[in-house]
Amino acid sequence: MATLNCWEFTNCGREPGGHRADDLGVCPAGADGRMDGVNGGRNGGRICWAVAGTFSHNRPQCIYADATRPCETCEFYLIVHPTEKTSTQVELDHRRRMPLRIDNYHLAAL
């Protein structure tokens, strides 16, 4: 299987420039450059559960996640999480604490 970002796998359309970005908003996983490169993904595209899902310690922002369907039940998570050397919690926390500047938040089409 090719290395896909979450929006390519799910075809949710919430990546920058995606077909549902205007009506649903751009997903943080698709736009947040602080997670760029984690698990080989673009922005947060291969660590979406830590950026936009129920593991973000905020309300779920992924259209596939809610209280009855948490990230750990998502097909994309089940494929990526066990096969990638996911960054440590310390690294993810460090990236989250980085200032979110306009130059690392990508709203233009990918």
CA 24, 25, 30, 35 dihedral sign is negative
Average pLDDT taken over every residue of the chain:
80
Task: Tell me how crowded residue 85 is: count the other CB atoms within 10 A of its CB.
Answer: 8
Question: What span, in angstroms and rounded, lies between the C-alpha atoms of 21 and 1?
Answer: 26
Higher per-residue pLDDT: 70 or 99: 70
Q: Are 10 and 69 in contact (CB under 8 A)?
A: no
Query: pTM value?
Result: 0.77
**Residue 105: which of 49, 39, 51 has the closest Cα?**
51
pLDDT of residue 45: 93
Higher per-residue pLDDT: 81 or 93: 81
What is the per-residue pLDDT across 56-85, written as a single tens digit (0 to 9) for each? Answer: 666 778 888 877 788 888 999 898 888 877
Residue range 20-33: mean pLDDT, rounded: 88
Residues whose CB is less than 8 angstroms from the CB of residue 67 and which lie 6 or more positions away in sequence, other chains included: 54, 60
